[in-house]
Amino acid sequence: MNLQKSIAALACVVLTALALASPAPETDLKKIMQDLRNNTVSMLDALLIDDFAAVAVAANGIAHHPSIPAAQVQLVAKELGPEMLAFKQFDQQVHDLSLSIMAAAKEQDRARAIADYQHMLNGCLACHAAYKERVSKVLSAVDDIETRSNDPL
């Protein structure tokens, strides 16, 4: 029995080491946005039940999301032109508010966390209203080209 436990423990260690040694999958704007959405929903759930630790975790995930890959930034910048500054300002607004929410959660300041959450959500919705369609379209066009170029037929 001890041999079986030892083998199982060794297998766990090996699998964990392999998982850690594997390169992280490359991210893209769509994946970043999906993760932001998931953290936003988690934050709302946590706010509803006053789980300040979970609010802080979700806010941290939003504040410290991965960077958009440089190639995608270039495509978005080309599409948006001078509007790119406003696009970046939305990201900065969401970043700053998520840091404020994290601080409010650590202080268990429910009112401030909720107020900042509402402002953050307004920023997300305003950005999506202004840019989602155009950004999605330009990135989808590139995805379609890449998919066709990788098709062996």
Per-residue pLDDT of the chain (153 residues; tens, 9 = 90+): 555 554 434 333 333 343 444 444 578 999 999 999 999 999 999 999 999 999 999 999 999 999 999 999 999 999 999 999 999 999 999 999 999 999 999 999 999 999 999 999 999 999 999 999 999 999 988 654 454 445 555
142 lies in some domain: yes
63 lies in some domain: yes
Domain count, the chain: 1
Structural domain that includes position 128: 26-150
134 lies in some domain: yes
Residue from 115, 121, 87 nearest 103 by CA? 115
145 lies in some domain: yes
We report the CATH number of the domain holding residue 48 as 1.20.120.10
The encoded tokens of residue 138 equal 């330009």
pTM of the model: 0.75
59 lies in some domain: yes
